[in-house]
Structure 1
Amino acid sequence: MGQLNVLGGDLQPCSTDPVTGFHRNGCCENRGDDPGMHTVCGRITDEFLEFSKAHGNDLSTPMPEYGFAGLKPGDQWCVCADRWKEAFEAGQACDVVLESTHMSTLEYVDLADLRAHAAPPD
């Protein structure tokens, strides 16, 4: 059985540039082996980057030793469901690509809240 998104359809890729996902395959899938639940496909904003950095996860600073160039606003990235929820509650959530956000995210976040932050089409 394939991976499903929060809308009940097939999970779509989030980003291959930069390549994202716990397994670095471009998808915010859930195979049950990711303790961080990187299941939300977020369209990154300055506010979300600052929020994440302030909470111990600096996503904007390049780390070439890990092949990570750092994120910038507009990039799409698989973010942790709990971190997105924290950012949402603080008014700092980034937009979400619903078709690329894994269904298991709904264990942490209401679909209505995700829809309220649905990313506009490219």
Structure 2
Amino acid sequence: MENCPFCKIIERRLPADIIYENDRILVFKDINPAAPVHFLIVPKQHIPTLSDCHEGHTAILGEMMAVVPRIADMQKIGVVGSTPETRTGGYRVIINAGPDGRQEVYHLHVHMIGGPRPWKDNK
């Protein structure tokens, strides 16, 4: 989409701090982070909202979720420890959809946030 900022980032017409990329997805740092670690996972295909997804998007949605643990480990926010008592680290994965869901950019994206708390919203 011509006016979509995420499409412009994917096409390298806008700068971004990219931390991961493959043929189908791009992961980059959020320019207004809500936590010490805040990334966006976006499909390279323009899909406006999660509500616009259908069965044909199953693979890309799965890939977006499957990359989360890898990114978490790369950014040192992955969950470590073998038992609940010894586990540390962690992160949140959020998808906003539509105006009431607080979506600001209408290109499907997953927020991945983590790092030491408290975070800005503390929610």
- Which protein has the bigger strand share? 2
Which TM-score bucket, shorter chain as reference?
under 0.3
Pick 1 or 2: higher relative contact order, CA cutoff 8 A, min separation 6.
1
TM value normalised by structure 1: 0.25
- Which protein has the bigger helix share? 1
TM value normalised by structure 2: 0.24
Question: Which structure's CA Rg is the greater one?
Answer: 2
